[in-house]
Amino acid sequence: MKYLVRLAYTKMVLMIQFSRIFAADLEKVCGQKLKDYMMLFDFSSKKLDLPNAENAVVGSSQPVSFSSTHFVSGNPIVEPVPGNLEKAVFGVGCFWGAERLFWELAGVYSTAAGYAGGFTVNPTYEQVCSGATAHTEVVLVFFDPVIISYTELLRAFWESHNPTEGMRQGNDLGTQYRSAIYTNSEAQSQQARGSEDLFQEALSEKGYSEITTEISELVSFYYAEDYHQQYLAKNPGGYCGLAGTGACYLPE
């Protein structure tokens, strides 16, 4: 019996030592605070209920710091932008892979990672990950409608993730990973809702449940911290959680 207790104690000590070594190595490799990654993968602390305006965490009078120039295209990611452009905002889970999805499309002028859908003004990444802001991670897309239509952006949106998972995308669990479309005009709103109905048919044929995507008018978009902007261009081997369902969006 003493031998078994001693063996269990030794295993516990080794596991603690390994976790500390792993944490230190992870922080060196990633080059950013380890707590960011703990927030991404610590399922036990995730809040899955959205706060309301009264109990959401208080924000800041100052926005976070970020470069206004797109790391890939060199185009501005803040307004003013050329007058022929339109903008769209999508929540597709973790914004690292989602932003790359859109900046690679022909006709997209620039993109930016940010937060929307919640109540907290000028939120930080840590606050959004806590679930106390009601924001979700989103991508702002400036696009030329002559080259790429809003319908084509919707196709990329629907086919690149699973919009039936509620407050998660795959292994990414939390309110900040919910699927969302935030519209900038009545025309976008009508197209987004019509596309939802159409894609639901494609999902149902493949055995998926009801779409949980949040579709509403954009109230405010807050830019994410600079290290999140065009993250996968700066870190080509970085995490990308995009995974579609295999269903196809086929507008008439």
Top-confidence residue, 245 or 28: 245
Is residue 16's pLDDT more than 80? no
pLDDT recorded at residue 252: 73
To the nearest whole percent, how much of the chain has pLDDT over 70?
Answer: 81
Is 30 a catalytic site residue? no
Is residue 28's pLDDT more than 90? no
Average pLDDT, the chain: 88
To the nearest whole percent, how much of the chain has pLDDT over 90?
Answer: 80
Contact 163, 213 (CB under 8 A): yes
Task: Report the candidate in 133, 134, 167 with the shortest Cα–Cα distance to residue 60.
Answer: 133
Top-confidence residue, 47 or 240: 240
Top-confidence residue, 202 or 31: 202
**Region 112-126 average pLDDT:** 98
Residue type at 243? Answer: A
pLDDT recorded at residue 35: 40
Q: How far is CA 108 from the centre of its chain?
A: 18
**Region 125-140 average pLDDT:** 98
**Most confident listed range (2-6, 26-30, 31-35, 115-119):** 115-119
Spot the catalytic one: 94, 129, 240, 248.
Answer: 94
pLDDT recorded at residue 23: 40
pLDDT digits over 172-201, tens only?
999 999 999 999 999 999 999 999 999 999
The confidence band for 165, taking pLDDT boundaries of 50, 70 and 90, is very high
Is residue 4's pLDDT more than 70? no
Task: Report the candidate in 90, 245, 115 with the shortest Cα–Cα distance to residue 179.
Answer: 90
